[in-house]
Structure 1
Amino acid sequence: MIAANGRAGGLYGVAPEAQLYGIKVMDRDGNGRISDVIRGIEWAMDNHIQVLNMSLGDRNYNAALEYATRKAHQKGMILVASAGNDGERSGLVDYPARFPWVISVGAVDQEMKRASFSSTRGPVDMMAPGVDIRSSWKSGYRTESGTSMSAAHVSGGAALVLSRHPELNGAKAESYLKRLNKRSRVRKGYGHGLLNLSPLSE
């Protein structure tokens, strides 16, 4: 979804020329520890990663996670995280998406309406497709729904902005990405609006 290059008739990602690094911080069941997530962030900083996609979240605040994400942002990294899938039950945006220096992403369906599962209570910076998304998987392709899919779209968008405008640093590229979204019709609860990358192809 982020960097698939369409080989052998496969999918094209949002930024097919981007270099993608997989930083494993979860087990095969999608569970993990905050300490492992922090080590992943530190690895990304040490290896000069420009965009960090965090399709993960936790309802509980963690001071060490706050420090790690803030430090990564200060070093110029663009951080993107899924808002969460609590929908109307509690709706609170997860951490690390809730930190103000992390781009929090909610999900919309094919009609660009907010997905029923998408968390909204808290800072949602933008919305992106997250319902029935076909993406590359370790054994081929798989269709999934969730704000994790939405966050991946935005991470690809951030990579695309950096490739089109290499003169921009992390903070300026992040602001540019958000301004692109304002070209779309902003709805209440959509933050800066729907992910809109069409101007990059103009």
Structure 2
Amino acid sequence: MPAHAESVRQRQWHLTSMHAEEIWQRSTGKGITVALVDTGVKEVPELAGRLVGEVDFPGAGTASRKDGGTAAAAVIAGNGKGPGGQASAYGLAPGAKVMPLNISDGYRRNGSVADQEKAVNAGLVPALRHAADSDARIISVSVSVPVYEESAEVREAVAYAMAKGKLIFAGVGDTFLEEGLVETPVRLPGVVGVAAVDRNGTWIKGTGVGPQVDLAAPGADIISACAGGTGLCRSKGTAIASAVAAASAALVWSAHPDWTRNQVLQVLLNTVAGPVGGEVRSDYIGYGAVRPRRALNTPGDPGPPNVFPLEDYAEPTPSPTPTPKPSAPAAAPSAVTDVASGPGGDGHSPGFWIALGVCAAGLLAMAVGTPLLIADHRRGRRLA
């Protein structure tokens, strides 16, 4: 490759760590659309032919950066071709499509958190409903708000998207103000909360922490195409990590188009690089960092198509009669420990899946034990 291509591609450490070129021999995300709820996407050369169905919702164009979603879109589906066809940055799923759904980030210099929430929700609610009714299989939400109680409208919009079979990722937030604060809409049932880790698999200090963290993905020093200056940006945070997680799901779903979102998510959970102490999960990186190469090569049991593999959401049971009292939720996945000696190591990673028919005592033990599994935030995992 030309020297420029080497200099850009080699700087994309997250793609190197994940062995992207090997992944692309199996899947590029072709046939999968990711709905990206962000503040706007500019069609830079690296996104030529990758953007579909862009829609502006209330507040679009009012963010401090109207093209804030450009980097996230490029992280998902960048085609590796810059101005004039010059080799440039790739996305993790370069064959996927991105549907930009543009809203406000709600930030105002003298505005309150309540004002921010109102501005965000004005666009977030219709954006989620639009994504639910679209052909997009995956939704990645970049915009979050530091509130402790979601509005009924947002809750209903998420529930609607879940009922439509969408797989929803959202960053857990980057407030850098209060450890333990997780920003909305991550707390809502079914939303997969994504934390950010650096190149060592270490949780990024200041980002969201809590039981709502489900997965982690690269979110520090992420080189991608963007709309400013040189056309390349270095990004950090859980919004970018959510985009990487969404791209990982696109790769798996493209390879297994007949799977449901439950099975795609189950395989991502089966193949994570889990907490180094062997815990089932931690409040810093959730069940662990996504590893799409392993998800494609050794996916493990994808589980039943109609069972959501996280405890906070249960698939509704169609019935012509009033819905009976819901049964106990399925058990959380079992522990996953990465035993690879280094990036690209082929150590075996035992899959963890939902155990059907678990007795009530087992569920009680899981409910009591899980909150105690808080990993040291200085520890992480390799991503290969």
The range that moved more, 133-142 or 8-17, is 133-142
Please tell me whether residue 62 in structure 1 is matched to residue 180 in structure 2.
no
Instruction: Provide the TM-score with structure 2 as the length reference.
Output: 0.49
Which residue matches 1:48?
Answer: 135
The range that moved more, 145-154 or 43-52, is 43-52
- Distance in 1 (CA, whole Å) between partners of 2:153 and 2:168 is 16
Which residue matches 1:145?
Answer: 236
Give 1:178 deviation, angstroms.
Answer: 1.7
SS of the counterpart of 2:180? coil
Name which of 284, 293, 296 aligns with 1:198: 293
Q: Over aligned residue pairs, what C-alpha RMSD do you find?
A: 2.0
The percent identity for this pair of structures is 26
Name which of 245, 256, 267 aligns with 1:176: 267
Which residue matches 1:3?
Answer: 77
- Distance in 2 (CA, whole Å) between partners of 1:136 and 1:63 is 36
Give 1:185 deviation, angstroms.
Answer: 3.3
Is the CA contact 2:96–2:250 (under 8 Å) kept in the aligned structure 1?
yes
Give 1:28 deviation, angstroms.
Answer: 9.9
SS of the counterpart of 1:125? strand
Give 1:87 deviation, angstroms.
Answer: 4.3
Is the CA contact 2:106–2:120 (under 8 Å) kept in the aligned structure 1?
no
The range that moved more, 28-37 or 116-125, is 28-37
Which residue matches 2:255?
Answer: 164
Q: 1:118-160: per-residue Cα shift (whole Å, max 9, x none)?
A: 1112310011111121122124221121111111100101111
Larger Rg: 2
Q: Report the count of equivalent residues.
A: 200
Is the CA contact 1:93–1:122 (under 8 Å) kept in the aligned structure 2?
no
Which amino acid is 1:17 matched to?
A: G
The range that moved more, 56-65 or 72-81, is 56-65
Name which of 176, 181, 200 aligns with 1:92: 181
Relative to structure 1, is the Cα distance of residues 71 and 20 closer, same or farther in structure 2, using a 3 angstrom cutoff?
same
Which amino acid is 1:141 matched to?
A: L
Which amino acid is 2:286 matched to?
A: G
Equivalent residues in 2 for 1:13-52, closer than 5 Å: 13-26=91-104, 32-52=119-139
Name which of 164, 186, 201 aligns with 1:75: 164
The gaps in structure 2 that reach 5 residues or longer are 1-74, 109-115, 277-281, 298-384
Give 1:33 deviation, angstroms.
Answer: 2.4
Q: 1:43-96: per-residue Cα shift (whole Å, max 9, x none)?
A: 112222111110111122211111101110111101000001134624311111
